[in-house]
Amino acid sequence: MKYLCFMQEIARRFHASVSGNIAVTFGLLLPLLLVGGGVSVDYLRAYGAYSEMQAELDLALIAAIKQIDNLDSDAIEEVIHDWFSAQTRLDSFSLEDIVVSTEGSTISATATAQVPTTLMQIAGILSVPVAVKSAVAGPATSYLNVYLVLDKSASMLLASTPAHQSHMTSALGCAFACHEPHSVWVNGSHYDTYYHYSSSNNVELRTDVMLDAVEQVLSTVEGIDPSGSRIRVGLYRLAATTARALSPTFDMDAVRAALQNPSKYLTSATSTDGTFFDVSLNALTPMVGTAGDGKTANSPLKLVMMVTDGVQSRRSWVINWWERGKVGPLNPEWCDNIKSNGATFATVYTTYLPIPWDWGYNATLGQTMASGVWSTTWGGEMRAGVSSSTSRHDYLPIALEDCATSSQYFMQATDVSEISDSLTTLFNRYLSSVRLTQ
């Protein structure tokens, strides 16, 4: 009887004991916990692989589209494979659904891979599938109109180098090759104008360098569009208003001929008395029109490239003391209509060199923004954070940068090499700005 009672007590105590429950429960749940933790870890690894693959596929397509005009579809696919293979760290992947459209200037592709698991293998899941898709379209391969807008004001007749500026100043007391009648004798020779002197003595002017910059753009166009079927270039002269010297054309030789044709008034042999950006940019807007998507010749992308010193002025304003407050930077808002029509606006500021020994400069650009009538007459609103005590001269690059679509489409060019390379640099920046479409 005692034995029976003893066994019943043992059974009762065993039944009531909970001291081993945690260990037993943990042992039963451990496989599920490992699988659950593995799902989190392995899917985080898969997401990391997904992000990397997306970036790598984007880069592969961007690299390929820059060559779409020069390679056939098979060669483009090879470029994508080679680039993606060189970038990705995945051991096994496949590139699928690669579609190259030279007509639509687009490339699309899908990349897939299996990312090996770690803890999820306990549940028999050996890998996680990952797939990404990308598509690109680029202005370098689309139809494009380029509008070259060249400042024809007298200030662009500044001698292009310090040596030539010194030459002009020593001979004439002025570094500008003005067309106004200034009859002078130099070393026994007579010259009707300062320009007559500069041209007779092989003095290079900023206008000449500007035309060299245009030639570089034309050569670049011929290099990336050798068939002459995608990129058109037009010429416009900017002064009191804007005049079309040549409508956009695929014929680069025609552009070169217009640049050298005196009747087009683009050479240094002509200049204008004043530059009115409010009038000229308003006149340019319908000439540029609305930008398209670049898929057809009738719906081209549009790039405006303006080379100027950015000074709103005319000679009479400098002479008449009551009008000197009008001389100052252009109002960037005057560029907005062209940009709102979808065109990209690029500006090159050919640095207006300060001439503090000149009374006209001191009375106009040498004065502060606050001393002028920039806001009341031209409606300008200064950039936030810029003091109104800034000189009008020093505000010129600020205004021209704000005129551009973005800061990457603005350049300040001071010396000959900077001016010569400026348009090409901006043009290449635009062409390299391919767009990811997916």
Q: What is the 3-state secondary structure (H, E, C) of the chain?
A: CHHHHHHHHHHHHHHHCCCCHHHHHHHHHHHHHHHHHHHHHHHHHHHHHHHHHHHHHHHHHHHHHCCCCCCCHHHHHHHHHHHHHHHCCCCCEEEEEEEEECCCCEEEEEEEEEEECCHHHHHCCCEEEEEEEEEEECCCCCCEEEEEEEECEHHHHEECCHHHHHHHHHHHCCCECCCCEEEEEECCEEEEEHHHHHHHCCCCEHHHHHHHHHHHHHHHHHHHCCCCCCEEEEEEEECCCEEEEEEEECCHHHHHHHHHCHHHCCCCCCCECEECHHHHHHHHHHHHCCCCCCCCCCCCEEEEEEEECCEEEEHHHHHCHHHHHHCEECCHHHHHHHHHCCCEEEEEEECCCCCCCCHHHHHCCCCECCCCCHHHHHCCCCCCCCCCCCEHHHHHHHHHHHHCCCHHHEEEECCHHHHHHHHHHHHHHHHCCCEECC
Q: What is the reported pLDDT for 104?
A: 64
Q: Which of 73-77, 83-87, 298-302 has the highest mean pLDDT?
A: 298-302
Does the pLDDT value for residue 438 go beyond 70?
no
Bridge-based pairing state of the strands 93-101 and 311-314? unpaired
Q: 412 φ, ψ to 5°?
A: -105, 125
- Of 11-20, 277-286, 292-301, the poorest mean pLDDT is in 11-20
Domains of the chain: 22-137 (no CATH), 144-158+205-433 (3.40.50.410)
- Supply the pLDDT for residue 33: 47
For residue 61, pLDDT beyond 50: yes
pTM comes to 0.77
- Predicted confidence at residue 87, as pLDDT, reads 77
Q: Quick check: 148 and 346 in contact, CB under 8 A?
A: no
Average pLDDT over residues 252-266: 94
pLDDT in tens, 82-93: 888 887 777 677
The mean pLDDT value for 61-90 works out to 81
Specify whether the CB–CB gap between 309 and 349 falls below 8 A.
yes
- Average pLDDT, stretch 190-200? 90
Highest mean pLDDT (candidates 115-119, 206-210, 267-271, 381-385): 381-385
- The rounded distance, in Å, linking the Cα atoms of 296 and 46 is 41
Torsion of Cα atoms, 220 then 265 then 190 then 184, to 10°: -100
Query: How many C-beta atoms surround the C-beta of residue 299 within 10 A?
Result: 13
Q: pLDDT value at position 174?
A: 83
CB half-sphere exposure, 73, CA atoms < 13 A: 12
State whether the Cα torsion 320-324-306-157 is positive or negative: positive
**Cα–Cα distance between 216 and 433 in angstroms, integer?**
20
**pLDDT classification of 175: cutoffs 50, 70, 90:** confident
271 close to 153: Cβ distance less than 8 angstroms? yes
| pLDDT the model gives residue 53 | 81
What pLDDT, on a 0 to 100 scale, did the predictor assign at position 291? 97
Q: Count how many Cα atoms sit within 13 Å of the Cα of residue 134 in the half-sphere of its side chain.
A: 27
Euclidean distance between CA atoms 401 and 386, whole angstroms: 14
Choice between 35 and 124, residue whose per-residue pLDDT is larger: 124
* Distance set, CA 29 to CA 26, 90, 124, 132, 259 (Å): 5, 34, 17, 36, 83
